Every structure is written in structure tokens, then in C-alpha cells.
């Protein structure tokens, strides 16, 4: 118990440090400012934040009730089924992360004074898992409460919101515990076992568990609404699974390879200080993590035999497959930002819709910039760029074509389901492709200078121009005019890139 008490005390100190840094934003310091006036100001800040949180909670309750009433009983039941499947998705994602790297995160001080100390592995694994499960349950409890409030508003009756919050909390902790068991099994396996065999076996077991749970949850959902004792069964099952999972963790913890744990935490230890309160740009820290992972992973697959512009496309496609960390950003652009923009420009969200889309597009520029990553890599390495016999526009098109095709395919598959009633589908698909092309060309502007001695364009400015042109065109309520505005913007930016002088940002 001494090891557990020591680790818990360390966690409390970490939480205290986080709170002190958070209050620095208000101009106060919990440690140094101990006078009566300073303490009164700190109490005022905490009280004000509490009032804001309470107001936000009341607003959420009202919004959820209105949304579920608008959905109706049938669609609300579909939301409930999705909530039943959420633990399976959480287990899949957490297990995948545990199969890739150690789920126990250690900073440099932790490696020096905790992992290398006589503290037992059982205490280290148990405390880390318990804190993760408690944190996950604390986040899920308000979501469960809101779900119960919404279901009561839509159907007229449902399980008590507090009971639903307890069930959501427990059934969020269960997949977290199970995924920790999967990650601990990998850390406990001998190094003589090939990594891919262990990962394959654990992945198959995880998929089987997800499939079984999903089928059970969907089949049990109607029963949960019809039987009065289903709540007791859900709580009892969750408690039993939690106890079994935690016991399995404690048994496996004694066989964990702590050397492997430290090795797999090398990158996290280097970058954990660049957190929320760091002065370093988060994009810079993320790029460093990505390059370290890519260097550690090593190359796989081979470049196909191609010549001319096809070689650029083949190399960009291979880079897209190898650097799969950028796929979520591409999917967000194709399935979220672009369909929302098409729907907003076609009048789906009123006059304010294009403004919100423009703010989203510019605010998430780092996500949209992933489309031109291969182009930026070629431009960054002058030794490579000087040997490529292509102009800036041709290089931009060849390097961005695979990512553009992927994003456009996702957008075309998503747009028909997000269009407002009565909107034409074909112009919407053309507009989606034009908006994705505008994103590519906007960030291509960063590689050129329009005139000698002039300022270099930046991608966010190009996105703002495209959004403004399309937004003004959408005021006419004519879809073809919006499409024409997007095409004109693309043609203008392509001409600017072609006639500009290439420079290095």
C-alpha cells in the first residue's frame, strides 16, 4: 500500500500544478499569492467559473430536450442504440492504441524516479488504470444524464437520469479496463514472440469481443426499455466486468516488461512538456511527434515504376499510405468541413451558415493543410525540389492529386445526405470538388511570391477569399452562381501560382 499511496500523492501534485498553471491565465498564483486580497480574488474567480459552468449545464439540458423532441421517438431510439454501441467503439480505439505503444505514459522524471525505482509494477499499473477509468467515468456521467433527459423528452418515459449517469459511467470504465488488459498482455509477452503475431492475435480477440458486445447491446436495447430489472442487471454486469478486468490487470502487471515500457515512452517523455500551457506552437510539436513516429516505423511498400508526372502522383500516393497519421484530417475535411460548406452555401443554415463555414474553414486550416503535405515536403527539401523539372503549379497538382481524390470521394459520398430539401445534387457535387480544389490551391499560394519584394500570400487568406466569394454568391439563392464563383476563385488562384515566383517559406 505504500507504493500506491506514493503514486497517488504524485498524481495529486500533478493535478495541483495543472490548477496553478490554469489560474495563471487569470493573473493569480495559488502558491505565491496568499494574502487576504489575493485569496478573495481567487475565490471570486472560482465562483464565477462555477456560475458559468452551471449556466452552461442548464443551457445543455434545454438544448438536448428541444433536440430530442424535434427528432421524435423513432430517431431518438436510434440515438440510444448508438449510445449502446459507444463502449465497443471506445474499446476498439483504446485497444488499438495499446497495441501500438505502452498505454502507461511516463515523463522523464517518471522514468528516472518511478519506473527505475523499487516501486512495484502492480502498483504502477493499478494506479494508472484506476485513474484512467475514474476519469473516463466522470466524463461519461454527464453525457448519460443528458441522454436520459433527452429520451424522456422524446418518448415521455425513460430510466431516471441519475441512474443512467451511473450506468454510463460504469460502462465507460469497462471498455477502458478491457483495453488496458489488452495493452498489458502485449507488454507482458516475451520479446521472442514476433510483434506482428502478438498484435494479430490480440486484434482478432478484440474484434471478436467488439462484435459480440455490439450484437448483445443492440439485442438488449429493446429489453432494457421493457423490463424494470434491466437497470439492476446492467449495473451488476458492469461491476462484475470491472472487478474481473482490474483483477486481470493486477495479475498481468507482475509480468510487464518495464524496459519495453520505458523505451516506448521515449517520444512521449520528450514532448509531454509541450502541453496545453506550453508557449510552443502545438502544430510544431505535432509535426515533431509525427516525424519521430515515421522515422521509427521505417518504410514499407515500394514505389511503383512510373515516369514523368505519373511518378509525382505515385510518390504522393505512397507517402499518403505511409504517413497514415494524416488520414483523420483528410476524412474530417471530406466528411465534415466540405459537406457543411456545400449545405451552408445552398441555404441549409440560413444567412449565417456561410459565415460559420468560413470560420470553421479558417480555424481548422491546419487540418485542411494536410491535403498539400506531400507538396510542402518537396518544397521544404531544396535538394529534391531543384531536381524536379516541373513548375510550381504542376508540382502542386501532382503531389496533391491522391489526397484531393480521397477527400473529394468522401465529400461526394457525404454531400447527398447533408443537402437541404430541394437542393440540386449534381451542382452540389461539383461545388464540393471545387471547394476541395480551392483548399489545395489556397495552400499552394504559400509557395510563391506575386511580385518582387511583396508579401507572400498565406493559405488562410486564400481560404478567406474563396469563402467570401462563395458566401456573397450564395445570397442570390442560385446554386449555379455559387458553383461558378468557386470555379472562378480556383482559376484565379491557379493563375497566381503559375505566374508567381517560387520562394521558400
In tens, the pLDDT along 85-143 reads 788 778 888 888 887 788 888 888 888 888 777 888 888 888 899 999 999 999 999 99
C-alpha cell, 238:
458492469
pLDDT value, residue 404: 93
Cα(79)–Cα(69) distance, integer angstroms: 13
465-to-302, 419, 504 alpha-carbon distances in Å = 40, 23, 23
Cα(165)–Cα(220) distance, integer angstroms: 18
DSSP secondary structure code for residue 502 in this structure: E
Residues 6+ apart with CB under 8 A from 437: 404, 490
pLDDT value, residue 447: 81
Scanning 445-478, the segments in alpha helix (DSSP H) are: 459-474
Q: What share of the chain is helix, strand, coil (3-state, %, to 5)?
A: 80, 0, 20
pLDDT value, residue 213: 61
What are the φ/ψ torsions at residue 303 (nearest 5 degrees)? -75, 130
C-alpha cell, 251:
495479475
What are the pLDDT digits (tens) for 141-158? 999 999 888 888 888 777
pLDDT value, residue 484: 92
Closest by CA to 216, choosing from 245, 232, 237, 242, is: 237
Residue 159, SS3 per DSSP: coil
Closest by CA to 90, choosing from 23, 157, 171, is: 171
Residue 501, SS3 per DSSP: strand
Burial class (CB within 10 angstroms; exposed 0-12, middle 13-18, buried 19+) of 120: middle
State the sign of the Cα–Cα–Cα–Cα dihedral 363, 366, 369, 370.
Answer: negative
pLDDT value, residue 368: 83
Contact status, residue 436 vs residue 404, Cβ threshold 8 Å: yes
Closest by CA to 147, choosing from 237, 86, 228, is: 86
Question: What is the chain's Cα-based Rg?
Answer: 27
Residue extents of the structural domains in the chain: 2-264, 311-502
DSSP secondary structure code for residue 455 in this structure: P
Residue 190, SS3 per DSSP: coil
Given a cut of 70, the residues of the chain with pLDDT beneath it are 191-229, 281, 452-457, 504-505
Scanning 255-352, the segments in alpha helix (DSSP H) are: 258-264, 266-271, 282-297, 309-322, 327-332, 338-345
| Global model pTM greater than 0.85 | no
Q: Report the Cα 146 to chain-centroid distance in Å.
A: 22
66-to-151, 347, 451 alpha-carbon distances in Å = 11, 22, 54
Residue 449, SS3 per DSSP: strand
pLDDT value, residue 59: 92
Q: How many CB atoms lie within 10 A of CB 220?
A: 16
Cα(327)–Cα(407) distance, integer angstroms: 10
Amino acid at each position: 500500500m505504500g507504493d500506491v499511496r506514493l503514486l497517488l500523492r504524485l498524481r495529486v501534485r500533478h493535478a495541483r500544478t495543472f490548477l496553478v498553471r490554469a489560474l495563471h491565465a487569470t493573473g493569480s498564483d495559488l502558491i505565491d499569492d496568499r494574502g487576504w486580497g489575493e485569496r478573495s480574488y481567487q475565490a471570486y474567480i472560482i465562483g464565477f467559473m462555477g456560475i458559468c459552468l452551471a449556466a452552461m449545464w442548464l443551457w445543455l439540458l434545454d438544448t438536448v430536450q428541444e433536440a430530442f423532441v424535434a427528432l421524435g421517438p423513432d430517431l431518438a431510439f436510434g440515438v440510444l442504440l448508438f449510445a449502446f454501441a459507444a463502449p465497443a467503439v471506445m474499446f476498439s480505439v483504446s485497444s488499438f492504441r495499446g497495441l501500438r505503444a505502452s498505454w502507461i505514459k511516463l515523463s522523464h522524471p517518471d522514468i528516472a524516479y518511478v519506473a527505475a525505482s523499487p516501486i512495484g509494477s502492480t502498483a504502477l499499473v493499478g494506479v494508472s488504470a484506476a485513474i484512467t477509468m475514474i476519469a473516463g467515468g466522470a466524463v461519461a456521467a454527464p453525457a448519460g444524464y443528458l441522454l436520459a433527459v433527452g429520451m424522456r423528452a422524446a418518448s415521455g418515459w425513460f430510466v431516471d437520469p441519475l441512474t443512467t449517469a451511473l450506468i454510463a459511467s460504469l460502462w465507460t470504465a469497462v471498455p477502458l479496463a478491457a483495453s488496458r488488459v489488452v495493452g498489458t498482455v502485449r507488454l507482458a509477452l516475451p520479446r521472442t514472440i514476433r510483434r506482428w503475431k502478438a498484435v494479430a492475435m490480440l486484434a482478432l480477440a478484440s474484434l471478436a469481443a467488439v462484435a459480440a458486445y455490439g450484437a448483445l447491446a443492440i439485442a438488449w436495447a429493446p429489453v432494457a426499455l421493457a423490463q424494470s430489472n434491466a437497470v439492476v442487471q446492467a449495473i451488476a454486469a458492469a461491476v462484475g466486468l470491472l472487478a474481473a478486468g482490474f483483477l486481470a490487470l493486477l495479475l498481468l502487471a507482475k509480468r510487464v516488461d518495464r524496459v519495453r515500457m520505458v523505451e516506448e515512452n521515449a517520444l512521449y517523455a520528450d514532448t509531454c512538456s509541450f502541453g496545453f500551457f506550453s508557449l510552443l506552437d502545438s502544430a510544431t510539436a505535432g509535426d515533431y511527434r509525427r516525424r519521430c513516429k515515421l522515422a521509427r516505423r521505417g518504410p514499407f511498400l515500394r514505389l511503383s515504376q512510373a515516369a514523368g508526372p505519373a511518378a509525382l502522383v505515385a510518390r504522393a500516393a505512397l507517402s499518403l499510405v505511409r504517413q497514415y497519421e494524416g488520414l483523420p484530417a483528410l476524412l474530417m475535411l471530406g466528411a465534415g468541413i466540405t459537406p457543411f460548406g456545400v449545405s451552408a452555401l445552398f441555404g441549409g443554415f440560413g444567412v449565417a451558415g456561410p459565415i460559420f463555414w468560413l470560420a470553421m474553414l479558417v480555424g481548422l486550416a491546419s487540418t485542411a493543410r494536410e491535403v498539400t503535405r506531400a507538396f510542402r515536403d518537396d518544397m521544404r527539401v531544396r535538394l529534391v525540389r531543384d531536381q524536379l523539372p516541373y513548375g510550381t503549379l504542376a508540382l502542386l497538382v501532382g503531389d496533391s492529386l491522391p489526397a484531393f481524390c480521397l477527400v473529394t470521394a468522401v465529400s461526394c459520398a457525404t454531400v447527398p445526405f447533408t443537402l437541404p430539401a430541394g437542393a440540386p445534387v449534381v451542382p452540389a457535387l461539383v461545388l464540393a470538388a471545387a471547394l476541395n480544389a480551392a483548399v489545395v490551391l489556397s495552400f499552394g499560394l504559400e509557395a510563391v511570391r506575386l511580385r518582387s519584394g511583396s508579401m507572400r500570400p498565406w493559405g488562410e487568406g486564400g481560404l478567406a477569399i474563396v469563402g467570401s466569394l462563395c458566401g456573397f454568391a450564395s445570397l442570390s439563392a442560385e446554386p449555379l452562381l455559387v458553383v461558378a464563383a468557386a470555379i472562378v476563385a480556383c482559376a484565379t488562384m491557379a493563375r497566381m501560382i503559375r505566374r508567381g515566383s517560387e520562394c521558400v517559406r
